[in-house]
Amino acid sequence: MATTIAEIVGFIVVLFVLYRYVWPVLKKMLDERQDLIQRQVDEAEQAEKDLAEAKRKHDSAVAEAEQEASRIRDAARAAAPRIREELQEQADADVERIKARGQEQLAAQRDQSVRGLRTEISGLSMQLAQRMIADSMADVGQKEASVDAFLEELNSLDELDGLGRRDASTAKQPAQAGGGVS
């Protein structure tokens, strides 16, 4: 029994030492560990809340972006006919401008051709007239007939009433002067 008492006393001393020196250190470590775990749990809960908030904001931003994209798409669809009409009007105006320019160029070329033809015709007419006069003047009888016809024409003009033409006295003087030329 004395061993049992010694064992009980030794056991109580060990318990006292454990309670006095080991237990506070263990309790302190356990409390720190418990605080650390509680902080980690709190941080995890906060992170989960933050993640949920971020996900909600992300979903909201995606929905808003989809609405904006839909609005832009609808606006583009609505603007497409107007843009198409503007482009068509611009193309029509370009076509009209090109047609007008072409018609102006065609008119200018036509006018230039007409002027060229008139110049050529007048030149040819002059050559023809020169030939005809040269041919008609080659014959002396035709010369006299031409001069006589001219003088008769002048005389007939003198005999007309005074409607702005020369009177008979001024017209006879050239006729008399021309009468000696034959």
- Residue 171: Cβ within 10 Å count: 19
- pTM score, whole prediction: 0.36
Please tell me the predicted confidence (pLDDT) of residue 178: 45
**Could you give the angle at which helices 140-158 and 23-138 cross, rounded to 10 degrees?**
100
Please tell me the predicted confidence (pLDDT) of residue 180: 44
Residue count (the chain): 182
Residue stretches of the chain with pLDDT short of 50: 161, 165-168, 170-182
Please tell me the predicted confidence (pLDDT) of residue 179: 46
* DSSP notation for 125-182: HHHHHHHHHHHHHHSHHHHHHHHHHHHHHHHHHHTS-SSSS--HHHHHHHHHHHHT--
Please tell me the predicted confidence (pLDDT) of residue 171: 44
Dist CA 47 CA 140 (whole Å):
134
Please tell me the predicted confidence (pLDDT) of residue 129: 80
* DSSP notation for 12-56: HHHHHHIIIIIHHHHHHHHHHHHHHHHHHHHHHHHHHHHHHHHHH
